Chain A
Amino acid sequence: MNKKLIYLILGVVYLVIIIYGLNAVYNVEATLRPKEAPAVKPENKIAIAHTEIFGKLERPQVIFYHNKHSEALKQEGCKTCHPADEFDRLGFDFPKKVVKKDEKTVMNAYHDQCIDCHKKKSSENKKAGPVVCADCHKEKDKSIVVQYPIFEFNFEYHDKHVKKLKEKIGKDDCSLCHHTYDIEEEDEALALVYEKGTEESCYYCHELGKKRGPELTAITRVAAKKGLSIRKASHQQCLNCHLKYQEEYLKKGKKEACPTECSKCHTGKYKTVAELEKVPRPARDQKEKPFINIKDAKLKGVTFDHKYHETASKTCRSCHHETLKSCKECHDLTGKPEGNGINVARAYHDVFSEHSCEGCHNKKKSEKDCFGCHRNIPIMDIESVGSKKEACAICHSGEIKGPLSRPPLSVAKLDPEKVKKEVTVKVLEKEFEPSKFPHLKIIEKLVKISNDSKLANYFHKDIQTLCEGCHHRSPAAAEAKKDTPPNCRNCHSIAYDPEKLNKTRLLSAYHRQCLGCHEKMSLEKGRKCADCHKVKKGGPTEITHIKNENVVKQNKSRILQVWRPD
């Protein structure tokens, strides 16, 4: 063959390779990212995956239908699958007979327990479960997420339990559920004791992830060793009791009173603080109105309405974050390791903490009804320079039976000459009409909000406190004595002052003060221009007057303009 032919063949082959290569590159099938599986309704299903032992699974997880099994094994009872301890209480550690938790043992244990039972049932010609691998390890169940909503054992449930128990046995016996761990007891079997007057929430010892103080850490370590997370501990404690009484109730012909199915407790429905307000709180002989007084402290003691505050949160743990004792037992004047070094002043007054008095009060001030005024009022903490002594004295009265509420505020005593019913703002009048606003009505509304809230009522000692929401830089008492009203323009200039940049001008002072309040309090009216001041009929159409002369000249000339823009 001659050279030319060889070159031609090579060229064609090369061309084909290029075309094929490009085609392949452009037509690569995009690997679809696996879509996040939508969470299915749990419906008493349990996902058996044990990723903590197996890591990445070879076969898909098994979705276990608990209902089917409890129905089928009614006669045989729960102990067919569930391990039981020496007190005949059911456990929830699966598989039943496994001590060493490694991959092979666990897998074999599950297979032995499940498949053997299925085979047995099938040989008895009864309805039985699958025995083939893929019938349990279903491919379609690969990415299902079975998640139950957290269950809140709120005060209502607690109250029901207390009442039901009293009905049954005629007296209060908290030891059925409550216990403490005696860390100093050497014999572990005797360490779990019940001491009357020390009943607390399960979370203190059984919430394993949280950092605790030195005393509790020792106990949580033991709980962690035994694998008793809040999940395991509560299931063990609650379900066993429920199962015991359920037999009784069913025998008596009553409908299922104690829930034993997953979704009966894990409903995903939660009660709000308001709904739980009237529910009686657990009685532990707590003082209704204790007097908090710290020895050697600078300020006088505080009368604290503990009974009212119990109704202000869903759980005692929002304040009693470590233990149910009083704050000053761990937080003293100088700071102890028990209190994580936090001294008592900070414990009560930390403005951003979730557990301190001021922290919670501060959060309440950002609610809709309060935020209109309180967005501008600086947070008062004990370190701020502007702390007024009068403000401290509101709580620190020093009286053992100090006042826990103030007389409600009222506008009746206001001098109508000084506190105008309607105020007209016309100093900036230009293209809008003067703005008239219902001054007295606003005060009345604020008074109503203040009287309706126990927190506001306690801190707003007199009606002049409310004035300072808008008349913010001058003390109300001093203004009341003057003859001239506290005009905004006394401080806010109309014209621009280049020397004082952050001094708000009058136009923006009005708009930001009024509009800001309306916005933060989510009011419907007063958000548009016309709500406060209508456009003046026949008023000026221009809003500025002095122009950039050169630019105007350039723009006005229409020499040889081809077409006008729209």
Chain B
Amino acid sequence: MDRRTFLKIIGSGIASAATGNLLTPGRTLAKEGPSAKELYGILVDTTRCIGCRRCEKACAEVNGLPIPDISEKANESVLKTMRKTSPTQYTITNLYKTEKGSFYVPRRCMHCNQPGCVAACLVKAMRKRPLGHVTWDLNCIGCRLCMISCPFDIPKFEYNKAIPRIQKCNLCFGRYNKGLVPGCVEVCPTEALMYGTRRNILEEGKRRIAQNPDKYIEHIYGEYEVGGTSHLYLSSVPFEQIGFRKDLGTVAYPEYSTGFLYAVPFIFVLWPIAMLGINRATKKSKEDEGHHEEKGKH
């Protein structure tokens, strides 16, 4: 091979790698906040929640959703049914009656450290922001794979719109940029919601458990579930009794497929090249034969 051919090969290799990088959405890279120093989250203390639903009202105001009626009468009837998040409600509170008493549990997006929805999104519309917020963007194609992948069944699709969107809590990303806490945290009258860095709120959760062993069970939901979430829950009764899934495991959802996916470049690119190389290397070259013949002739 001469120099020109060599440079052509190298050059085209670099060019193809560059274009490939530009074109692929990079959806496999759902790491724990690419350059994050701290993740932000909320500690939810279900023993403090009084079911006033001001968090729902504040969330609706802050995000331009229809404002719910949270008068005493409305609360009484609304809290009789178990609700889920909906396209117009990013956070909902449910009432659970247990042996230890009634508990109100606010549920919303858990903002997992390694979200299944971010890994599932084909177009990177679901993104994990550097500081922990899992947000949805307008380049969504409406495939709803994020809904399937969420272990907590949070993202909701606007079936009633012609240009449908996925709706879910975004941890008030817009307010964060203005230096404010999320709307729900600001208005909670009993500080059942506590906002802060995940490290700090985890410490606070552990402190509360250690100082009040009779009041809390010794588990923070979200500390390790599905690889850890940024919404941590404290409870007085076992979590199954207040509507939490206990079968989730501690493996983050994207990690189930990273092994396979990272193997793709190897299998489709490097492996054929390696095989080709070995093939060529072990093949008898014609030049050698001719050379031998020539030698032999002399």
- Asked if B186 and A556 make an inter-chain contact with CB atoms under 8 angstroms apart, the answer reads no
- Asked if A529 and B190 make an inter-chain contact with CB atoms under 8 angstroms apart, the answer reads no
Q: Is B104 at the interface (CB under 8 A from chain A)? A: no
Q: Which B residues touch A511, using CB under 8 A? A: 50, 189-190
Q: Which A residues touch B204, using CB under 8 A? A: 501-502
- Asked if B72 and A529 make an inter-chain contact with CB atoms under 8 angstroms apart, the answer reads yes
A555 to B57, CA, bound (A): 15
Which of B193-201, B218-226, B269-277 interfaces with chain A?
Answer: B193-201
- Asked if B170 and A551 make an inter-chain contact with CB atoms under 8 angstroms apart, the answer reads yes
Least CB distance from A527 to B in Å reads: 9
A563 to B158, CA, bound (A): 10
- Docked complex: A526-566 residues within 8 A CB-CB of B: 528-530, 541-544, 546-556, 559-565
Classify the interface of chain A: helix, strand, loop or mixed: loop
- A502-B207, A551-B170, A552-B63 known; A561 and B161 CB under 8 Å? yes
- Asked if A544 and B58 make an inter-chain contact with CB atoms under 8 angstroms apart, the answer reads yes
- A501-B194, A501-B201 known; A547 and B64 CB under 8 Å? yes
> Which residue of B138, B186, B207 contacts A496 across the interface (Cβ within 8 Å)?
B186
- Docked complex: B76-91 residues within 8 A CB-CB of A: 86-88
A542 to B194, CA, bound (A): 21
**In chain B, what residue has the closest Cβ to A428?**
B189
Least CB distance from A28 to B in Å reads: 29
Contact with B along A490-533 (1 / 0, CB 8 A): 00000010100110110110011001000000000000111000
- Asked if A543 and B54 make an inter-chain contact with CB atoms under 8 angstroms apart, the answer reads yes
Which of B2-10, B26-34, B115-123, B174-182 interfaces with chain A?
Answer: B174-182
Q: Is B255 at the interface (CB under 8 A from chain A)? A: no
- Asked if B191 and A512 make an inter-chain contact with CB atoms under 8 angstroms apart, the answer reads yes
Q: Which A residues touch B74, using CB under 8 A? A: none
> Which residue of A502, A547, A562 contacts B62 across the interface (Cβ within 8 Å)?
A547
- Asked if B181 and A496 make an inter-chain contact with CB atoms under 8 angstroms apart, the answer reads yes
Q: Which B residues touch A512, using CB under 8 A? A: 48, 190-191
Least CB distance from B162 to A in Å reads: 4
- Asked if A515 and B50 make an inter-chain contact with CB atoms under 8 angstroms apart, the answer reads yes
Q: Is B145 at the interface (CB under 8 A from chain A)? A: no
A554 to B174, CA, bound (A): 13
> Which residue of A501, A530, A552 contacts B64 across the interface (Cβ within 8 Å)?
A552
A340 to B80, CA, bound (A): 54
- A501-B204, A528-B72, A552-B63 known; A562 and B190 CB under 8 Å? no
Contact with A along B200-214 (1 / 0, CB 8 A): 110010010000000
Q: Is B285 at the interface (CB under 8 A from chain A)? A: no
- Asked if B189 and A562 make an inter-chain contact with CB atoms under 8 angstroms apart, the answer reads no
- A502-B204, A565-B88 known; A544 and B61 CB under 8 Å? yes
Chain A: how many interface residues by the 8 Å CB criterion?
36
- Asked if A547 and B165 make an inter-chain contact with CB atoms under 8 angstroms apart, the answer reads no
A548 to B65, CA, bound (A): 11
Q: Which B residues touch A559, using CB under 8 A? A: 162-163
**In chain B, what residue has the closest Cβ to A547?**
B62
Q: Which A residues touch B189, using CB under 8 A? A: 507-508, 511
- Asked if A547 and B61 make an inter-chain contact with CB atoms under 8 angstroms apart, the answer reads yes
A529 to B178, CA, bound (A): 31
- Asked if B191 and A505 make an inter-chain contact with CB atoms under 8 angstroms apart, the answer reads yes
> Which residue of A502, A508, A547, A565 contacts B174 across the interface (Cβ within 8 Å)?
A547
Least CB distance from B187 to A in Å reads: 5
- Docked complex: B43-78 residues within 8 A CB-CB of A: 48, 50, 52, 54, 57-58, 61-65, 67, 72
> Which residue of A498, A546, A548, A551 contacts B196 across the interface (Cβ within 8 Å)?
A498
Q: Which A residues touch B63, using CB under 8 A? A: 547-548, 551-552, 555
Q: Which B residues touch A552, using CB under 8 A? A: 62-64
Q: Which B residues touch A549, using CB under 8 A? A: 174
**In chain B, what residue has the closest Cβ to A504?**
B191
- Asked if A565 and B160 make an inter-chain contact with CB atoms under 8 angstroms apart, the answer reads yes
A553 to B64, CA, bound (A): 8
Q: Which B residues touch A550, using CB under 8 A? A: 174
A556 to B163, CA, bound (A): 13
Q: Which A residues touch B160, using CB under 8 A? A: 561-565
- A529-B72, A561-B160, A562-B161 known; A551 and B64 CB under 8 Å? yes
- A554-B138, A565-B88 known; A544 and B201 CB under 8 Å? no
A552 to B173, CA, bound (A): 12
Q: Which B residues touch A544, using CB under 8 A? A: 58, 61-62, 183, 186-187
Q: Is B232 at the interface (CB under 8 A from chain A)? A: no
Q: Which A residues touch B165, using CB under 8 A? A: 554
Least CB distance from B161 to A in Å reads: 5
Q: Which A residues touch B173, using CB under 8 A? A: 548
- A546-B180, A561-B161 known; A501 and B200 CB under 8 Å? yes
Q: Which A residues touch B105, using CB under 8 A? A: none
**In chain A, what residue has the closest Cβ to B203?**
A501
Q: Which A residues touch B175, using CB under 8 A? A: 546-548
Q: Which A residues touch B180, using CB under 8 A? A: 546
Least CB distance from B196 to A in Å reads: 5
- Asked if B61 and A542 make an inter-chain contact with CB atoms under 8 angstroms apart, the answer reads yes
A541 to B61, CA, bound (A): 10
- Asked if B190 and A530 make an inter-chain contact with CB atoms under 8 angstroms apart, the answer reads no
- Asked if A565 and B87 make an inter-chain contact with CB atoms under 8 angstroms apart, the answer reads yes
- Asked if A560 and B174 make an inter-chain contact with CB atoms under 8 angstroms apart, the answer reads no
Q: Is B110 at the interface (CB under 8 A from chain A)? A: no
A504 to B204, CA, bound (A): 12
Q: Which of B161, B165, B194 has the most CB of A within 10 A?
A: B161
Least CB distance from B286 to A in Å reads: 61
Q: Is B109 at the interface (CB under 8 A from chain A)? A: no
- Asked if A555 and B162 make an inter-chain contact with CB atoms under 8 angstroms apart, the answer reads no
- Asked if A548 and B50 make an inter-chain contact with CB atoms under 8 angstroms apart, the answer reads no
Q: Is B234 at the interface (CB under 8 A from chain A)? A: no
**In chain A, what residue has the closest Cβ to B194?**
A501
A564 to B161, CA, bound (A): 8
A477 to B68, CA, bound (A): 48
Q: Is B112 at the interface (CB under 8 A from chain A)? A: no
A465 to B201, CA, bound (A): 34
A547 to B196, CA, bound (A): 19
Q: Which A residues touch B195, using CB under 8 A? A: 496, 498
Least CB distance from B278 to A in Å reads: 53
Q: Is B188 at the interface (CB under 8 A from chain A)? A: yes
Q: Which A residues touch B86, using CB under 8 A? A: 565
- Docked complex: A257-295 residues within 8 A CB-CB of B: none
Q: Which B residues touch A565, using CB under 8 A? A: 86-88, 160
A418 to B173, CA, bound (A): 47
Q: Which of A501, A511, A563 has the most CB of B within 10 A?
A: A501
Q: Is B237 at the interface (CB under 8 A from chain A)? A: no
**In chain B, what residue has the closest Cβ to A557?**
B163
Q: Is B252 at the interface (CB under 8 A from chain A)? A: no
Q: Which of A546, A552, A561 has the most CB of B within 10 A?
A: A546
- Asked if B62 and A546 make an inter-chain contact with CB atoms under 8 angstroms apart, the answer reads yes
- A501-B196, A501-B204, A556-B64 known; A530 and B72 CB under 8 Å? yes
Q: Which B residues touch A556, using CB under 8 A? A: 64
A-B contact pairs, 13 of them (CB 8 A): A496-B185, A504-B191, A507-B188, A508-B189, A511-B50, A543-B57, A543-B58, A544-B58, A544-B61, A546-B178, A547-B62, A551-B170, A559-B162
Q: Besides A544-B186, A547-B175, A550-B174, 7 other CB < 8 A contacts? A: A496-B195, A498-B196, A507-B191, A508-B188, A508-B191, A515-B50, A543-B187
Interface positions of B (Cβ within 8 A of A): 48, 50, 52, 54, 57-58, 61-65, 67, 72, 86-88, 138, 160-163, 165, 167, 170, 172-175, 178, 180-181, 183, 185-191, 194-196, 200-201, 204, 207
Interface positions of A (Cβ within 8 A of B): 496, 498, 501-502, 504-505, 507-508, 511-512, 515, 528-530, 541-544, 546-556, 559-565
Ranked nearest first, the 7 interchain pairs of A and B with the lowest CB-CB distance are A548-B174, A508-B191, A552-B64, A560-B162, A555-B64, A511-B189, A544-B58
